[in-house]
Amino acid sequence: MSIDPATYEFYQSQAPHYSLSSAISHSRDLDGFLDRLRAGARVLELGCGGGRDAARIAERGFDLDATDGIPAMVAKANERHDIGARLMRFDEIDATGKYDAVWAHACLLHCPRAELPDILGRIHRALRPGGFHYASYKLGDGEGRDLLGRLHNFPDAEWVLQTYREAGFELVEKHIFAGKGSDGTQRDWIAVTVEKP
């Protein structure tokens, strides 16, 4: 799997903007997710972007492995927060039982729908038994592009839940909320927290 070229180029060129705009505060669900973990738990972050969530994870004392598939984003995250972020695409996750949690805020939504089951399988393998995974997706009725040209999988809620079930996860919590994307479009999102039995 390679990152969709238009999506890659958008984030590669917009990294300075994103690292500034996202430096305001960490994601709203992050602290609640971290509260589920034992002290010092090993946390893999996918799509760390400008590093705001990674900085919060580290600040709270967790053992952080921050990653992003866009070189400019990795550079900006490290420049701004010095978090040791590294370059890794979703399909390069190859760990087995290494992490207590995988945090993936607003990033797996760029994964083509046909490839998401494999990625979730990789996340499942990377987690220790009892490990947690969080992800958020923009809801819709089929894969497509937003007004900025970025690829989104735009699933419906039941498809998301079924895909996680088929990957071997158990649902812990889900919520649907209204949010505005970077392109200014208002739509519903779904956030899921799941556990590896």
Predicted TM-score (pTM) of the model is 0.95
Q: Is 73 helix (H, G, I), strand (E, B) or coil?
A: helix
Domain extent at residue 50: 5-89+97-195
Residue (of 16, 123, 27) closest to 67 by Cα position: 123
Q: What's the structural domain count of the chain?
A: 1
Summarised one tens digit per residue, pLDDT across range 28-62 is: 999 999 999 999 999 999 999 999 999 999 999 99
Residue (of 75, 68, 76, 28) closest to 44 by Cα position: 68
pLDDT of residue 180: 87
Q: How many CB atoms lie within 10 A of CB 58?
A: 19
Q: What is the CA radius of gyration of the chain?
A: 15
Q: Strand 99-104: give its sheet, edge to edge.
A: 86-87, 63-68, 42-45, 99-104, 127-138, 186-195, 170-180
Q: What is the CATH number of the domain that holds 27?
A: 3.40.50.150
